[in-house]
Amino acid sequence: VRIGGGSMAMIAGPCAVESAEVLDTIAGAVKDAGANILRGGAFKPRTSPYSFQGLGEEGLKILREAGNKHNLPVVTEIMDPRQVEIVERYCDMFQVGARNMQNFDLLKEVGQANKPVLLKRGMSATVKDMLMSAEYILAEGNHQVVLCERGVRSFEDSTRNMLDMSAVPNVKGQSHLPIIVDPSHATGRPDLIPAMARAAVAAGADGVHIEVHSCPEKALSDGPQALLPKQYAALMGDLRRLAEVMGKRM
């Protein structure tokens, strides 16, 4: 999968890996809809220590198997520099989440690994801060960095975060790095995700990252913000038409 240069990363999957069965269903559905990377969390950064923390290595195995079965590379979040080895063993791409965008030791560690890194913007990071964090990875020799706009904290209380769509052209004007958009975490609302995914493509993003769950009401994490597989498939049709207007391949 190439990302950037006209090729788009269509990343989809559940917030957390919950079981082989559920992930298999979701992976099959997003693959059919046109996704080219499967996501799923095994180590979950939760605000409260009493929330579900992810399945750990068991989750990584399930993710790897689903990726293999459906022929999709897999990406998962890494939270601790000591997890690089195990995550690298099972996955094709590291995700550094918003809460760890300035966890500099983690950045240095994935900077020494040989797999691409999806670096999400911190909740109150400026675009320049995000580029500086990318620099921590690049400076260690890993040049495969993909940035991700996922919304920032604001006073608006009807959405989970505020999606700063202008980060897309803003980054493109000062860096060669590809940038994708995550409307799921940015809005936290399935009714707003499709419009924001379309806007991302029209703004020139190199991909979109969307949470999909076959049964959102039973999801162990962030269920309410997930799209259903059929909603995702419908959205992908729209995105394909917009990508064409933008001269991009999906």
Residues that bind a copy of itself (CB under 8 A): 45-50, 79-82, 99-100, 102-106, 122-124, 126-129, 132-133, 135-136, 139, 152-159, 162-166, 168-170, 173, 186-187, 191-192, 194-196, 198-204, 238, 241-242, 245
- Shortest distance, position 83 Cβ to a copy of itself, whole Å: 8
Collapsing DSSP states into helix, strand and coil, what is residue 240?
helix
Q: Which is nearer to a copy of itself, 128 or 249 (CB)?
A: 128
Q: Which of 94, 62, 68, 61 is nearest to 80 (CA)?
A: 94
- Shortest distance, position 239 Cβ to a copy of itself, whole Å: 9
DSSP lists the bridge partners of residue 11 as 37, 209
Q: Which is nearer to a copy of itself, 67 or 111 (CB)?
A: 111
Q: Which of 190, 185, 195 is nearest to 216 (CA)?
A: 190
Q: Which is nearer to a copy of itself, 30 or 192 (CB)?
A: 192
Q: Residue 121 in contact with residue 97, Cβ under 8 Å?
A: no
Residue type, 79: M
- Shortest distance, position 63 Cβ to a copy of itself, whole Å: 19
Q: Which is nearer to a copy of itself, 38 or 197 (CB)?
A: 197
Q: Which is nearer to a copy of itself, 176 or 241 (CB)?
A: 241
Distance CA 17, CA 221 (A): 9
Phi, psi of 2 (to 5 degrees): -95, 145
- Shortest distance, position 29 Cβ to a copy of itself, whole Å: 24
- Shortest distance, position 205 Cβ to a copy of itself, whole Å: 9
Phi, psi of 13 (to 5 degrees): 150, 180
DSSP-derived letter for residue 210 is E
Q: CA 237 → CA 122, 183, 194, distances in Å?
A: 30, 17, 11
- Shortest distance, position 70 Cβ to a copy of itself, whole Å: 29
Q: Looking up tokens 């198997």, which residue turns up?
A: 65
Q: Which is nearer to a copy of itself, 69 or 108 (CB)?
A: 108
